[in-house]
Amino acid sequence: MCYRRESAPPKKYVASKFDKDTLIYIKTVSKRDPDHFQVGPDEVAYIICHDGTSQLEYEGGFYRLVSKPSRIIWVKKVPRELKIGVPKEATGVNIGFHARVRLYPIDWDLIYRLFDVNKEEDTIKLTDIQDIIRDLAREIFIKLSKEMDLSSQEFKKRFNEELNRALASTKLAGFGAVISYLGLSTMCKLPEAFEEE
């Protein structure tokens, strides 16, 4: 392992740079950077050592890199929420929808391989992946709209399952998704099965 935990905070260290739109923050810690890095209490870090070995660090605190360069990928423990909406004109079934999708990492090696994380410093923003999620969600909604006899809870569950299956064939294959909200919209009265419970 190319790092070890420190008992006291160092004077200089490398830390993540998150804003409300950041899904992942990536930094290559080079020989000119401080030897220490921080994992915040609300973060998980994936450390890729110079020899290709890797380690997940769930515990917040300060760590010392014993060899550099090393690459660190930070993500928040609480999944980031992405809001998407598709108008009824785009579904072809006279019903549009809006959803809140929470993405969380399930395979760090896939994330590392599928995203261009070779830059010295980079971020993956929610806006960078919004179109992928929206297009997948629209196709899934059109497919499931043929099963109007499902209850709203069953529909949401199937939608979530199908979205996770579809993610596996995209650059987001290293992530899982949870639909925290799914709402439908139309100028006509909604089918009874889709009204909010």
Which residue, 45, 76, 107, sits at the end of a domain? Answer: 76
Q: Check whether residue 126 and residue 45 sit in a common domain.
A: no
Domain identity same for 64 and 155: no
Here the tokens at position 164 are 């996770």
Q: Which of 173, 166, 171 is nearest to 143 (CA)?
A: 166
How much is the pLDDT for 124? Answer: 87
143 and 90 together in one domain: yes
Could you tell me how far CA 37 lies from the centroid of its own chain? 22
pLDDT at 183: 86
CATH of the domain at 87: 3.30.479
Question: Do 150 and 117 lie in a common domain?
Answer: yes
Is residue 34 domain-shared with residue 12, that is, in the same domain? Answer: yes
89 and 44 co-located in one domain: no
Helices and strands per DSSP (H, E), number in the chain: 4, 11
* Domain that includes residue 13, residue range: 3-76
One domain for residues 17 and 51: yes
Give yes or no: residues 66 and 99 share one domain. Answer: no
Residue 193, pLDDT score: 46
Residues 71 and 122 in one domain: no
For residues 63 and 135, state if they share a domain: no
**Cβ within 8 Å of residue 29, ≥6 positions away:** 14, 37, 65, 68, 69, 70, 71, 72
pLDDT string in tens for the chain (197-residue length): 899 999 999 999 999 999 988 988 999 999 999 999 999 999 999 999 999 899 999 999 999 999 999 999 999 888 888 999 888 888 888 888 889 999 988 888 888 888 766 778 888 888 888 999 999 999 998 888 877 676 788 888 999 999 999 999 998 999 999 999 988 876 444 444 444 43
What pLDDT shows up at residue 114?
85
Residue 194's pLDDT is 44
* Number of domains forming the structure of the chain: 2
The domain boundary residue, chosen from 35, 61, 76: 76
Which of 76, 110, 127 is at the close of a domain? 76
Residues 104, 45 within the same domain: no
**pTM, rounded to two decimals:** 0.78
- Cα 173 to Cα 48, 58, 112, 141, 192: the distances in Å are 19, 21, 11, 20, 35
One-character DSSP codes across 126-187: HHHHHHHHHHHHHHHHHHHTT-TTS-HHHHHHHHHHHHHHHHTTSTTTTEEEEEEEEEEE-S
At 196 the pLDDT is 43
Same domain, 41 and 85: no
Contact (CB, 8 A) for 141 and 194:
no
CB neighbourhood size of 141 (10 A): 24
* pLDDT at position 186: 63
